[in-house]
Every structure is written in structure tokens, then in C-alpha cells.
Structure 1
């Protein structure tokens, strides 16, 4: 088992730390295969509900370690695209094992570049340190994203920011990323992991089946027509309402003003 990735379980929260600070947490083939094992374990472990992904040192992830990946690609020839289709980047979380309905939070601690940006965009919520920088540098190397980078930039941030970042190959800082809807929050660097854990706790106060059904529904409606989106939401939402046994008890807590994390005149602790 490699120490290039750290995998910790603390109650219902898994913390995954890319641990190659000397390589800006670039993902080589060993890390790629280890991440596949980690994502599979996280998906299948019934005790886990939320994952936090971050990096050690001054980078979240600088993308693919080209020293290991370029030789692999060079030998493959035209069949590379077909061979890679079921096996996306960073253990397949960008494509292949991306339909994990447990929430994943990216704690972006520094440089988020190339495949690292694709990895962050494959997460559900992104929190950025004030030091974070986000960039897509593939075009500088004669490549462009192939593991969801363009797709998720367009879906999350819009065509304008996707065109700017891809065509210029220039990074943007954390506040620009926040205004582009790329990250949910920018925090002081020393508050990053605490903020990510706070987001995890807010997720955990919600019913597990409801959380995972909502994430699945969001995945299903992307790219569909309005009528198709409304149909999918109705079918998934009312299927949950008609079959989730926790609803009566959680409704009683709401009526009694005792549910976790309530705000306002009847505030309760998270």
C-alpha cells in the first residue's frame, strides 16, 4: 500500500489526502490505482457517508504526473481513447466510478492544475483556501482535458470561463473562482479543513437516503430538456417521499422545532 495517498476514516467522514508534496501531488500510475481502491472502498463502506479530499504541502493536485503518463499514452496509439473511456483520471472519479452518490468535498489548499482541476470539479462541493490557484494548462503541452475538465467547467461555471481558462492556459485565483461559481467558499488557509468538516457535518445532519437521492437526481437532470428534468425530479423525489421510513420522525422534529442545525428564534446546535 502506497503512502502517496493517505486514507483516514473518522466516524462517517473519510479524509483522503494526496501526499506527494515534492511533486505538487501530481498523480502517477501508482496513485491512480490506489485512488481506484479508495473510491471503491468509500462507495461500498456502509459506515461512511461523506469524503473530504485535499492535498499535502502547497498544492491540491498539479494533475497527471507526465513522467509516468506520457510514455503510457505514447505507446497506446489511436486506441488510447477507447481504452481510457471506462477508466478516468484519479482512480476513475472523473469518469468510470463517478456515480458515487455519497457527497465528496474538495478542500483546495493550493495549486489546482490540469487534471487536478478535473479532479476538483468531479467533487460535489469545493472549498478554497485564499492561497488556491486554479488553472487548465493542458493546451500548453499540446493536449486538452479529456477527463471531464471542459464538460464540468461548462456545466458549473459556463461557457465564458471555460473558454477563457482553456484557451489562455492562465490560472485564476480563489476569489475569481468563487465569483465564477467554481468554489462555494474562500476561507483563510488555516481554516480550510475546519470549514470542510463543518460542511460535512451539515450534510450529515440530513437523512442519508435523501442526500444520496438528491445527488443522483442532479446527475440525472444535467443536459436534459426542461420537461425531462421535471419528470426525473418528480419520479425520484416522490419515490423517496413514499418510501423513506424516517420521514414521520424527522417531520415531528421539525414540528417540535428540535431538528439539528435550526436557525432563527428556535435555533439548535448542529
Structure 2
């Protein structure tokens, strides 16, 4: 079986890390396969959402400590500089400007680079069995593929400092309270919940969805005036008139998909 399973159906790419015997740790081959999967997803006009999960009882244990990390101990400055463009698995850095939404279905342990990979996804849904950890300090280094940046942006400095300095894990409920995940669901319903979230996204204008993701990424860390300017420019230029007028007509007719209340319609 391949180390990364890439499946597509009904506008959704389903990507599964498939090294359960190694807790889905990312070796060089898996790294390359993930890059290819994300590039294929971004380039395929028939796909609009991706769901990433892991096989077995782990989401991802991070970079393979036996094969991926040791070569970096004697890396030259040139190699380090070149690596800036190629983050672990691609989504963490390098292919992170994919504006199609990505959902992480965190089925178990998300450690080190596995946590970084989950944080690089746009929406994280956790199984009740999920655990999250930044264990790198136990091995003599720390996050280098977006883990610190995204932990601070998503959960704040308090959670980031605790996780990195203690190198102790947090469970799914603590992750929920820390805003790391959107919700915690029964393990057996995890993929079903991820699929439902994907369907929620798919009922919307994909132009609007991708512009919203781009805008969120662009405003992080900028001064308020810059943030407001970017939002206004992107928001008021995001609509395709034909699509927007058609969607407004559905609203007027009370027939838009997923409508709740007395005129409820299915997704």
C-alpha cells in the first residue's frame, strides 16, 4: 500500500497518511508523496475541499526520527536556506498558499510535525481519542515548520509556551478549550463529521470561500488599517455578478441549500 492514499469523489480529495506501523511518521518518501498530493489537489478544477486524516490510531507522529531528522545534524547553511521553501509535507510551508479549504480529521496522536501539519489545515475536527503534543524539546530542537507561528496565532502565547517548554501533550478537550480544534466528536463519527463540514463548504460560492481564506491569511499580523484595506478590497471584488445574483435569487425564493427554519432544505 502507498504511504499516502489519495482519493477523490464528489469535489472532495481524501488524503490519508498510511504508515500506521510508524504512527504515520513522515519519512522522505511520505514527504514527497504529500507534496504531490497537495499539488494535485490545488491543480484539479474538479476538487474544492480536502480532508486529511491518518490510518490506524495516530494522525501523524511528525517527521520520522530515524530517517528524516539525522541528516539535518550536519546540514550546511545553504541547505537550511533552501529548506525554507519546502516545509514538512508541503502544506506547512511552500504549498500553504492553497486557497481551497483543508479539513484535518484528527483521529489520534498529532505530535511534533504532525501537530504542525494539523495546524496548517484550515479546520480541525478531533476524535475524542486525539492527543496533541510538541515533543521536539525532548529530542534537542523545536518546531521549524510553522508549529510555533500557528500555535501562537491560533491558541495564543500561553498555550504555545506551555506546550513547547514542557513538551507535554494535551487531550482533545483541552485542545477544544484552547481553540486548537473546532469540535470534538465520537471517534466512530470523525470522518462523517469531516464530510459534513466539507458539504457545508461545498454549498457555498467557492470564489467567496477562497477569497475569504486568502483574506484571513493576508491580514494576520498586519496593522489594523492594512487589515481593513485588504478585507475591503478582497470582499468587494470577490463576487462574480452572475453567480451572486443567482444565489441571491435562491435566497429570495427561500430555496437555498442548507436553509434552516420553516423553509428548511437539505444540503
Q: Give the structure-2-normalised TM-score.
A: 0.98
Match of 1:249 in 2: 246
1:200 corresponds in structure 2 to 198
What secondary structure, in the 3-state scheme, does the structure 1 residue paired with 2:238 have? helix
User: Which runs of structure 2 are paired with 1:107-186 in the superposition (5 Å)?
Assistant: 107-186=105-184
> What SS does the corresponding residue of 1:127 show, helix, strand or coil?
strand
Could you say which residue in structure 1 is the equivalent of 2:104?
106
The separation in 2 between residues aligned to 1:69 and 1:6, in whole angstroms, is 20
Counterparts of residues 12-91 of structure 1 (less than 5 Å)? 12-90=11-89
Q: 1:244 to 1:88 in 2, by over 3 A?
A: farther
Q: TM-score, normalised by structure 1?
A: 0.97
CA distance in 2, matches of 1:70, 1:207: 42
Q: For 1:208 and 1:182, how far apart are their aligned partners in 2?
A: 25
Structure 2 unaligned spans of 5+: none
For 1:261, the equivalent position in structure 2 comes to: 258
Count, aligned residues? 267
SS in 1 for 2:173: helix
Q: Take 1:129 and 1:10, find their aligned partners in 2: how far apart are those partners?
A: 23
Compute the displacement of 1:79 (Å): 3.3
Counterpart CA distance in 2 for 1:171 and 1:144 is: 14
When residues 166 and 244 of structure 1 are mapped into structure 2, their CA distance, relative to the original with a 3 A threshold, is farther
C-alpha RMSD of the superposition: 1.0
Give me the whole-angstrom Cα distance separating, in 1, the residues matched to 2:104 and 2:78. Answer: 32
Q: Which residue of 2 aligns with 1:95?
A: 93
Residue 69 of structure 1 aligns to a residue in which SS? Answer: coil
Structure 1 residue 11, shift from structure 2 partner: 1.7
1:141-184 alpha-carbon deviations (Å, 9 max, x no partner) = 11000100000000011111001101000000000000000000
| CA-CA distance at 1:76 after TM superposition | 1.5
Instruction: Give how far 1:68 is off.
Output: 1.2
The SS at the match of 1:165 is helix
